[in-house]
Amino acid sequence: MPTATASLGRELLREEIDGTMTKSRPRCHGTVEEHQRVALDVRELITQHVFERPVGSVFHLGLRFPWLRTMRLDSANLSLELTTGRIVTVSLTWTPCGFAGERMGLLCPRCSRRVCLLYHLEGQVLCRTCARLWYAAQRVSATARKFLALRRIRYKLGASDYYRDARGQWHASTGIPPKPPRMWRKTYTRHLASLARIERSRYLPRRR
């Protein structure tokens, strides 16, 4: 396995041990990445043509959403029956988008904010803000966020954080990844510009 000598590993490990935060934030109940896999996403429902079914259709989504027993499609809302037996009504909303187009969204049952995802936490269906869920990047320092951004862009280009040489030793990848197949050259140039901008910002003094 790769050694912990890479800069990204050092920064993340330091954050985990010290627990330093740049700003005081409300108590975190978890990260978005931890709950996103079983979150109710309106974009996924649109892709699955759920809203094209007749009004009154009932869907059994226990395999996809372990916390959800059934979902009933009404004219302007979704009626969710949780595994606890509780019924939660989620209103649907439409926002003008583009020329003569509309974008569908969900209204949070607590704050009525328009969102795309609703999370299940402690028997309630909430938006990210009401559930107090942070993104993983919010739990590390500004320096560690830059390393996370670098790694995310490198993954898009098909590169890994580490590579193995002919002797089987692991080393940190620092070179510029080549253009992946079937990627537009304009997109590849934009990713390289983002990598260069983040690298330059690592050596600039922080604003106070």
Instruction: Give the tens place of pLDDT for each residue, 67-98.
Output: 999 999 998 999 999 999 999 999 999 998 87
Query: Is 8 in contact with 151 (CB distance < 8 Å)?
Result: yes
**Measured distance CA(179)–CA(198) in Å, rounded:** 19
pTM value is 0.61
The torsion angle over the Cα atoms of residues 51, 56, 61 and 67, rounded to 10 degrees, is 110
Q: What is the mean pLDDT of residues 93-113?
A: 89
Domain ranges in the chain are 7-23+139-201, 32-131
Residues 47-60 pLDDT 10s: 999 999 999 999 98
Summarize pLDDT for 12-43 with one digit per residue, the tens: 444 443 444 444 555 666 788 888 888 999 99
Between 13 and 207, name the one with better pLDDT.
207
Please give the C-alpha separations between residue 18 and each of 11, 12, 140, 141, 172, in angstroms, as whole numbers. 11, 10, 10, 11, 24
